[in-house]
Amino acid sequence: MRKIFLIVLVLSETLNAGFEKTGIGARSAAMSNALVGKADDVWAIYSNVGGLKQLKNYQASFFYSPQPFGMHELSESAIAAAVPFNFGVLGFGIRRYGFELYRELSWTLSYANSVKGICLGVNFNFHTVTIKNYGSANTIGIDVGMLVPVFINFQFGTFIKNINSPTIGVSREKLPQSFTTGVAYIPMNSLTLTLDIEKEINFDLNARFGFEYWIIDALVLRGGATDTPTQFSGGVGVRYSIFQMDYGFTTHQELGCTHGISITIQ
């Protein structure tokens, strides 16, 4: 009974028609999802699609979080890939969340390009939710993102989730809309500091902070914090040749710890 209660509590706190979730990937988790002003890897699809234009080479990555808050019923996995072309960067992602009684599946097609140095991007998301014995429902959500290099070591970004106000199911439940602005400051080549401010419709502002420090060329340390709810995060990454493995964790003051791992080819 306690486990069922915890699952309902987590769904109500973290889902809220969970297709609104941003910041997938172990790197993002380790930095408390504060990547709107940075977003320079393939997971920019979910953190700020405009940042995809920063990719110079092909990237593909897999993410897995087996037991969020200690419950396999909330497991999450995703894959993402992006390829730069002369006409911009194309990206593709698939996200899977939940278990046999409640399942979410999202397919995302992304495109990013730059106009006078400003990186712009758009996501087209096809969402499906399936509830056992109740059937399934689909909807399409659209995200837009922008990244502006203000100075050599300072960037500003904006990401709007579900800008088209999609609804899902016969009850036409509205998927959450969120507006996030963020900055990234790079005081030295090995260190990045990030700050995001998110506003979800009908909810208070949420501030997120993250940092990334490359100790050596092959090893990176990350951390972060968020205030609504109060959570702390951290993680490490190891790079060798064309491969990179990242680990990230997030702590919740009542529900415990969530772990995730990403493996990237670049």
Q: Please tell me which residue, 254 or 37, carries the higher pLDDT value.
A: 37
**What secondary structure, in 3-state letters, does 159-203 show?**
EEECCCCCEECCCCEECCCEEEEEEEEEEECCEEEEEEEEEECCC
Q: Which of 257, 261, 258, 259 is nearest to 237 (CA)?
A: 261
Q: Considering the entire predicted model, what is its pTM?
A: 0.90
Nearest residue to 208 via CA among 255, 263, 257, 159: 159
Q: How confident is the model at residue 160 (pLDDT cuts 50, 70, 90)?
A: very high
Euclidean distance between CA atoms 251 and 233, whole angstroms: 6
Name the helix (H) or strand (E) containing 139.
Answer: strand 135-151
Structure tokens at 88: 């911009």
Residues 6+ apart with CB under 8 A from 107: 93, 94, 125, 126
Q: What CATH architecture does domain 22-265 belong to? A: Beta Barrel (2.40)
Per-residue confidence at 253, pLDDT binned at 50, 70, 90?
confident
Cα–Cα distance, 182 to 125 (Å, whole number): 22
Out of 4-8, 198-202, 237-241, the most confident range is: 237-241
pLDDT greater than 80 at residue 17: no
Residue 5 pLDDT = 39
Specify the pairing of strand 118-131 against strand 102-115. Answer: antiparallel
φ/ψ of 68, rounded to 5, equals -55, 130
Measured between alpha carbons, how far is 239 from 217 in angstroms, rounded to an integer? 8
Domain boundaries, the chain: 22-265
Map residue 10 onto helix, strand or coil. helix
Contact 107, 81 (CB under 8 A): no
Question: In the structure encoding, which two tokens stand for residue 164, read together?
Answer: 């088209």
pLDDT at 266: 87
Which residue from 124, 133, 28, 43 is spatially nearest to 80, judged by alpha carbons?
43
pLDDT tens string 62-99: 999 998 877 888 899 999 999 999 999 999 999 999 98
- pLDDT tens figures, 101-121: 999 999 999 999 999 999 999
| Cβ-based neighbours of 209, under 8 Å, separated by 6 or more | 32, 34, 193, 194, 195, 196, 224, 225, 226
- Find, among 190, 212, 255, the residue nearest to 34 by Cα: 212
d(CA 203, CA 33) in angstroms, rounded, equals: 18
